[in-house]
Amino acid sequence: MIKIKARAKLNLFLEVTRRRPDGYHELATLFARVGLADELRVWRTRSEGISLRVTGGPKELGRPEDNIVYRAAEKFFEAFRLRPAAAFALKKRIPVGAGLGGGSSDGAAALRGLAGLYRLPRASFPKLMRIAASVGSDVPFFMLDAAFAEGRGRGEKLKPLKAAGRLPYAVLVYPGEPVYTKEVYGNLKIAPGAEVRRRLGEFRELCGLIRKGGFAPGRAGKLFNRLEDPVLPRHKAVRLARQRLEELGAEAVLMSGSGATVFGLCRGRAKAAGIASEMRRIRGYRIFLTKFC
């Protein structure tokens, strides 16, 4: 049996540069892995087939057609021409519809777990990455052994980023109501070209700060998420959670991905813990105090 932590991600930057002819959107994003994680166990079985047991998540996640772990496993066995004979047990901690990449991370964990279980050689990694990209746009990031990565294309074209210096703590706030990606992109308006170019310049600056050890909440003004434009006016719960983090003194506040989670960065653990404690007083919120990892 192999056990894998499927960690969540934050988007420290996300600009949408254009809508592609295939219906997807072209992105420039900065992925950051954090400590919050689901747990996936996988083992080989004597009988043929793929089985999946889910605890801690919505009931529909137990249905094979609605779970990315099952879909990733199907593609794995098909691509490597192996007889499917595996069982999965998924313990959910990352909220669903939260902009934290929980499903994508679970899918990557399934591919990594199966690769280990079947002792695939290192040379198989490019093929695994192609499978990951076919499963979901964010899945390739979770295949990397990297805390940070620049993402282009749909998010699948990756450039790992090595961080230097001390990194801040993050308080994650899920306001209790999911936001669905399809709705967000359906209401998105692409910014004018001049504004997009300016934001991409800020993106490069932010990546440089992380590389050089200059990334701190007080200097994190380059954090940006274009998807806040369609989400905040339409989702009061997300808007209020963001506002409350700012009022409590988080030094940089942003929505992650397509929402609904917002996060605040703090220089030290004591301040982050204090903000997390205050936010836990609000009914319906799920709060996570974590670090980049």
Rounded Cα distance, 167 and 165, in Å? 6
Whether 9 is catalytic is yes
Return the exposure string of 252-268: e unless at least 16 CB atoms fall within 10 Å of the residue's CB, then b. Answer: bbbbbbbbbbbbbbbee
22 token code pair: 């295939």
Q: Which of 38, 75, 106, 138 is catalytic?
A: 138
Q: Which of 9, 75, 92, 222 is catalytic?
A: 9
DSSP conformation class of 27: E
Q: What is the dihedral of CA 35, 40, 43, 46, to 10 degrees?
A: -170
DSSP E strand stretches across 241-285 = 252-255, 262-266
Rounded Cα distance, 130 and 127, in Å? 5
Three-state DSSP class for residue 201: helix
Torsional sign, CA 198, 204, 206, 212:
negative
| Residue that is written with structure tokens 């909220």 in the block | 95
C-alpha distances (whole Å) from 218 to each of 13, 103, 241, 268 are 16, 32, 20, 12
Q: How long, in residues, is the chain? A: 293
Residues acting as catalytic residues: 9, 138
